[in-house]
Amino acid sequence: MTIAAGAHAPDFTLPASRGRTVSSAALRGSPYVLYFYPKADTSGCTKEACAFQEALPQLGTLGITVIGVSRDPIRALDRFADKYSLEFPLASDAEGKLTEAYGVWVEKSMYGKKYMGIERSTFLVTADGLVAKVWPKVKVEGHAAEVLAAAKAI
């Protein structure tokens, strides 16, 4: 089950692209966007990442950090970030603790075959560490703009 708006955002510390580490402790006092995506360098995930990159200056003026999270290994995230000049951190949740804590590790189905994977979801977290808004089952088109609009309201 996905974490609901109003809940405390789960704590995390994860390795991220370009030798960074991201953590909820370091973000305390600042709002942030945590978006979960299935796999680096696939079409939908690339469109979503590029849209967030495009919105980054506006989100930055609001003091909002963007972090993309997948279960990809760091090497794949570094290649993805370099290929598309993504400035925000892409975090590797290789062990799956954060994807499970947020409830985005779900059973999916493709061509009749069931498997476990990340449900594309986004969470806007306030400076107090509370989830302000949740977007489950994200449709990529126009999503970054929706997040930006909601971010302006917190």
pLDDT value at residue 85? 97
Distance, CA of 86 to chain centre = 13
Q: With a threshold of 0.85, does the pTM exceed it? A: yes
How many domains is the chain partitioned into structurally?
1
Q: Is residue 78 part of a domain?
A: yes
Task: Give domain status of residue 134, yes or no.
Answer: yes
What is the pLDDT, as a whole number, of residue 100?
96
User: Which pLDDT belongs to residue 2?
Assistant: 75
> Looking at the annotation, which residues are catalytic?
45
Domain-embedded: residue 84: yes
Per-residue pLDDT of 20-64, as tens digits, reads 999 999 999 999 999 999 999 999 999 999 999 999 999 999 999
Q: Is residue 4 part of a domain?
A: no
- For Cα atoms 110, 106, 2, give the angle at the middle one, nearest 5 degrees: 140
Instruction: Reduce the DSSP state of residue 46 to 3 states and report it.
Output: helix
Residue 20: domain span: 15-152
C-alpha to C-alpha distance for 7 and 25, rounded to whole angstroms: 17
Evaluate whether residue 83 is within a structural domain. Answer: yes
In a domain, 8, yes or no: no
Q: Is residue 140 part of a domain?
A: yes
pLDDT of the residue at 1: 67
Q: Are strands 105-110 and 90-92 parallel, antiparallel or unpaired?
A: unpaired
Query: Can you spell out the DSSP letters for 88-121?
Result: S-EEE-TT-HHHHHTT-EEEEEETTEEEEEE--E
Query: Does 7 reside within a domain?
Result: no
Q: What is the CATH number of the domain that holds 45?
A: 3.40.30.10
Give 74-132 pLDDT, tens digit per residue: 999 999 999 999 999 999 999 999 999 999 999 998 899 999 999 999 999 999 999 99
